[in-house]
Amino acid sequence: MKRQIPMMIVLILGLLFVAHVFIPSKLSADYLDWFMKWTKVIGPFAIVLGVFSLVLVHYNKIKRKAPNWGYSIVTLAALVITTAVGFIWGIQEGTPYMWIFKNFNVPLGATMFSLLAFYIASAAYKAFRARSIEATVLLVAAIIVMLGRVSIGQAITHWIPDITEWILNVPNLAAKRGIALGVGLGMTATSLKIMLGIERSYLGGKD
| Residues between 54 and 113 that touch another protein (CB under 8 A) | 54, 68, 71-72, 74-83, 86-87, 90-91, 97, 99-113
The dihedral sign for the CA sequence 10, 12, 16, 18: positive
Q: Which one of 28, 62, 154, 168 is in contact with another protein (CB under 8 A)?
A: 168
Q: Which of 111, 85, 88, 109 minimizes the C-alpha distance to 99? A: 85
What track of x and - describes contact with another protein for positions 20 through 59 (by CB under 8 A)? xxx------------x-xxxxxxxxxxxxxxxx-x-----
Q: In whole angstroms, give the CA distance from residue 36 to residue 19.
A: 16
The dihedral sign for the CA sequence 66, 71, 73, 78: negative
- 152 touches another protein by CB under 8 A: no
Q: Which one of 30, 33, 188, 198 is in contact with another protein (CB under 8 A)?
A: 188
CB of 19 to another protein, least distance (A): 8
> Measured from the CB atom, is 75 or 154 closer to another protein?
75
Q: In whole angstroms, give the CA distance from residue 94 to residue 135.
A: 51
